[in-house]
Amino acid sequence: MNRNLYFSKWIVSIFFLASTLYFFKTSLERKEGIKSENIITTLPHRDTLSSKIQPEENPNNIPDEVYSTLEYILKYQKPPDGYVGGRKFYNREKKLPLKDFTGQILSYKEWDIHPKSSHKNRGAERIITDSNLNAYYTKDHYKTFIKIKI
């Protein structure tokens, strides 16, 4: 009987902790005024970022170049040769979270998806990474973001 009581208390404690963290996170998001309509969705977890995605796994049609570039960035903490990236992104419009669920202020970096070319501009597509290793894709130069779950 003691074992069952211990197990029940353990389950209740875990549930309480998870509920508290969820409540804290959502109330912090409301307090910080994060515009959730600007963050479209979270994609399914991928074991290998650069592997081919099936259409049903990529509802937002994120180009494969985004995943291969992000994989390089996460592995080497720098942009691939010939790419621009690693500069501070200020999140001035506050379309991305300002703090994480623990209250820590997030910092952001921006990364180009395509190599720099002297014959054309850099385009509108970017990857944004935060200090907690979350990643976002924007195809319209920071107007909307798609969160990429890594």
42 vs 94, residue with greater confidence = 94
Task: List, in sequence order, every beta strand (DSSP E) within the chain.
Answer: 39-42, 85-89, 108-112, 126-130, 135-138, 145-148
3 vs 110, residue with greater confidence = 110
The chain-wide mean pLDDT, for the chain, equals 78
| Confidence band of 59 (pLDDT split at 50, 70, 90) | low
The residues pairing with 148 across neighbouring beta strands, listed in sequence order, are 135
Largest CA distance in the chain: 75
CB-neighbour burial class of residue 50 (10 A; exposed 0-12, middle 13-18, buried 19+): middle
Mean pLDDT (whole number) for 80-95: 96
**Is pLDDT at 141 greater than 70 in this prediction?**
yes
Mean pLDDT (whole number) for 45-74: 70
Mean pLDDT (whole number) for 35-50: 46
The residues pairing with 88 across neighbouring beta strands, listed in sequence order, are 109
Contact 40, 61 (CB under 8 A): no
**Is pLDDT at 61 greater than 50 in this prediction?**
yes
